[in-house]
Amino acid sequence: MTASPPRGESFHYVGYDIDASRNRLVCRYRLDGRDFREEITFPDGGAWDEPAAAETARLIFLLAAVSYYKSAAPPVVDLGDTAVTDTERAFLREFYLDGLGEFAYRNNLDLSGLRIVGPRLERTAPVAFSPRGGRPLVPFGGGVDSIVTAELLRPLAKDPALFVVNRPGDRFDAIERPARVTGFPVVRAERLIDSQLLRSAELGFLNGHVPVTGILSAIALLAAVLDGRDAVVMSNEWSASVGTVEVDGRSVNHQYSKSEGFENSLRSVLAETLAGGPDYFSLLRPFTELWIARRFAALPQYFDHFRSCNRAFHIDPAQRLDRWCGRCDKCCFIDLVLAPFMAEPALRRVFDGREPLADVTLLGRFRTLLGLSADNKPWECVGDVTECRAATALAAPRHDRAGSAVLAALGPLPEEPALEELLVPHGRHFVPDRYAPDDLLV
């Protein structure tokens, strides 16, 4: 087994400052004498005088720290002067252990002994917030899931808006193009992480995956407060809760901060922090990737604009692709899950003639998605084995897929997936009736 890398001694929460005149939140941390600073700006400004703004800014401060902690992953996290409730302390421990589960697994680290020390907070009552109804904020990434969420909300909300976070001065075409198709206004935030993180290898930092969706969720909650919005509506589906690999009886999930467990824990923190909202829930939680794909297939206005390939989101603009790469795990999964519901010529057009299902050299990636190889599920935001097998079973009989070497090589499947169960809502969710699509109200 590979030896565990050296770790730091302690990580400190130094403090945070709200600069309302500049619409900016500054978070400061220290790791073994090295200082880190993160700035988050909300260009549109808003109601900084709301007590709920201070509370959600504090939440960002608590969660954004994980990006800096992982640089050396010390056994002690010192909250300094920041007091937390018992609920918040338990949530923070979960956020570090499960949110950094993949990071720890791939770096051969044991974080189970992590100690979070600091003062205890006794809340007497949550802070009141009175948003205007019918004004949800939708974190938007330009892919299938957030597009379907936006369209499901269209008839249910009076004034929906999209939410996008970028580095200052940077925008992703893969987000901006489908955002324009929605016609919804866009609320923006700019996140400037400490430049030292971009020099991780040079500085000898540990590197790996962080629960970025959790951090962005907190940023979205502050944006919602500033703009008087009643809900942050996520687009995390049922299978985001399915782990990537199991280690010593503990699930390690690449999508932890998209999981139902994270959603429930954050809602518990918000329940004791804010009264009246903003609400936080995933509209797609009770739905599978197949259900979502079928909905998306009925939205042809997006076919030429959506993008889920990671190459479209490279941090270096010079290395970004303005198309799907057609070869990565994300491309393979999106092609597979849409194949039962979209015509082959339409998907070939989406991938600019490089459709993964037409490329037999990618058979190994598809076999991994279907759990037919010894490899683990990819460390990507892709569906689970059951959904991938169901997509294969539904796509293979289509007349426009006759002769597909990839689909032919993937069958017959070891066990027949329960197709009907995957096309209806199931599992726990927190969607309030006012934003529930018809499928949840029957």
Whether residue 167 lies inside any domain: the answer is: yes
Question: CATH number of the domain that 162 lies in?
Answer: 3.40.50
Domain match, 190 and 300 both:
no
**pLDDT classification of 395: cutoffs 50, 70, 90:** very high
What total number of domains does the chain contain? 2
Domain match, 79 and 178 both:
yes
Containing structural domain, residue 339: 291-308+318-423
Whether residue 304 lies inside any domain: the answer is: yes
The predicted structure's pLDDT at residue 3: 63
Whether residue 362 lies inside any domain: the answer is: yes
Domain match, 209 and 304 both:
no
Range of weakest confidence among 157-161, 351-355, 371-375 = 371-375
For residue 351, is pLDDT > 50?
Answer: yes
Domain match, 324 and 278 both:
no
Give the tens place of pLDDT for each residue, 298-316. 999 999 999 989 877 777 7
**pLDDT classification of 441: cutoffs 50, 70, 90:** low
Q: Please give the DSSP secondary-structure letter assigned to residue 399.
A: G
Cα 370 → chain centroid: 22
Whether residue 256 lies inside any domain: the answer is: yes
Domain match, 274 and 322 both:
no
Domain match, 212 and 349 both:
no
The predicted structure's pLDDT at residue 1: 45
What are 254's two structure tokens?
């690449």
Give the tens place of pLDDT for each residue, 58-79. 999 999 999 999 999 999 999 9
Domain match, 31 and 73 both:
yes
For residue 417, is pLDDT > 90?
Answer: no
HEC states along 351-390?
CCCCCHHHCHHHHHHHHHHCCCCCCCCCCCCCCCHHHHHH
Domain match, 300 and 269 both:
no
Whether residue 350 lies inside any domain: the answer is: yes
Whether residue 393 lies inside any domain: the answer is: yes
Q: How far apart are CA 95 and CA 211, in angstroms?
A: 8
Domain match, 82 and 191 both:
yes
Domain match, 364 and 231 both:
no
Domain match, 217 and 324 both:
no
Domain match, 263 and 231 both:
yes
User: Is pTM beyond 0.85 here?
Assistant: yes
The predicted structure's pLDDT at residue 412: 80
Q: What percentage of the chain carries pLDDT values higher than 70?
A: 98
Whether residue 436 lies inside any domain: the answer is: no
Q: Looking at 264, 282, 300, which one is the last position of a domain?
A: 282
Give the tens place of pLDDT for each residue, 145-200. 999 999 999 999 999 999 999 999 999 899 999 999 999 999 999 999 999 999 99
* Residue 419, C-beta contacts closer than 8 angstroms, at least 6 positions apart: 390, 393, 394
Whether residue 152 lies inside any domain: the answer is: yes
Residue 23, CA distances (Å) to 2, 40, 45, 106 in order: 46, 9, 5, 38
